Amino acid sequence: MPEMPALRPGKVRNWAAAGLAVAALLSLFVVGYADAHKEVTLVVDGESRVVDTLKDSVAGLLEQEKVKLGEGDLTLPALETELKHGMTITVRRAVPITVCAGGSSRAVRTAQETVGEALAALGIALGPLDKVTPGRQAPVQAGQTITVVKVEEKLQPRYVAVPYSVQRREDDNLPRGQTRVLQAGQSGLLERQVRAIFEDGQLKREEVVAERLLRPPVTEVVAVGTLGTISRGGRDYRYIRALDLVATAYCPSDRGGNFTALGLPARRGIVAVDPRVIPLGTQLYVEGYGPALAGDTGSAIKGQRIDLFMDSHREAVNFGRRRVKVYVLKQE
């Protein structure tokens, strides 16, 4: 058997070094492949499958799996997201919807799951009072119309005049029909805090939430003349009121005495009254009778009644019972 030529020590070392280098390269390749290889779950149109990939991003995975994205389609996570082993990637397909907001409407496509998310994705910011139909948490459905009404509240001060009242006082120093302002009236001022509700810029309603009286009204006081004048027998009589009474007549024998309730001698010009209607001692003028003094009372003289003293029984009988105008004279 022929003998193999002996390897020189230098060549042996070269072969060993080369082998080690190849082994190292293979090891790096295996480790790198293991690091680059990923197993992920891909969900498209509701169907889920496990995919092996060496791609680095979601976009690369979709390209590998030939998944095309249409207008408005959405991926979770985003296309630029780095792929990691065990990750789940979901493709949401956009559906057509109509959004009515700000007085206009537009047709769009969205892959968002809820109405609120769809509006946020479209850049429509919602305030806490805004009205959204259907509700913000309602699921998005193909062909759906979403309506947004912007609602705004403003607290506004309002100043309201408070009308003053008028107090009338009878004044028997003023001729009847005349008036005189004793104290001028002045309107008050009321501050109201009003909450105004606007929907899409239009005032919808208002409500008063607080009130504060800044200035109370001043009552106007007016003197009303009650002084009238009548002329009888060439003489003027000033009166403060006129009464329409039922009159009867009496003579001394009818009363059973010669003195009145005021202690005055009974005579013509003394008349009996109801003191609740005409106070005793009041000067009167009775039409058809003349000047008189309310100086007597009678058990039958109640309310709108007056009993006139006559000098004789015949005169009293002839007078009978009739309605007369009685003037209450101003006390001079």
CATH of 233-329, one of 3.40.50.720, 1.10.10.10, 2.40.40.10, 2.60.40.720: 2.40.40.10
Residue ranges of the domains in the chain? 38-92, 96-149, 154-222, 233-329
pLDDT of 254 reads: 57
Q: pLDDT tens across 238-283, in order?
A: 999 999 999 999 887 655 567 888 989 989 999 999 999 999 999 9
Give yes or no for residue 123 having a pLDDT over 60: yes
Once rounded to an integer, what is the mean pLDDT over residues 3-29?
Answer: 51
Specify whether domain 38-92 bears CATH 3.10.20.30: yes
Write out pLDDT tens, residues 176-209.
889 999 999 999 999 999 999 999 999 999 999 9
Please give the model's pTM, rounded to 2 decimal places: 0.52
Tell me if 38-92 shares its fold with 96-149. yes
| Domain made up of 96-149: CATH architecture | Roll (3.10)
- 198 and 143 Cβ atoms separated by less than 8 Å: no
How far the first Cα of the chain sits from its last, in Å, is: 177
CATH class of 154-222: mainly beta
State pLDDT tens for residues 73-119: 889 998 999 999 999 999 999 999 999 998 899 999 999 999 999 99
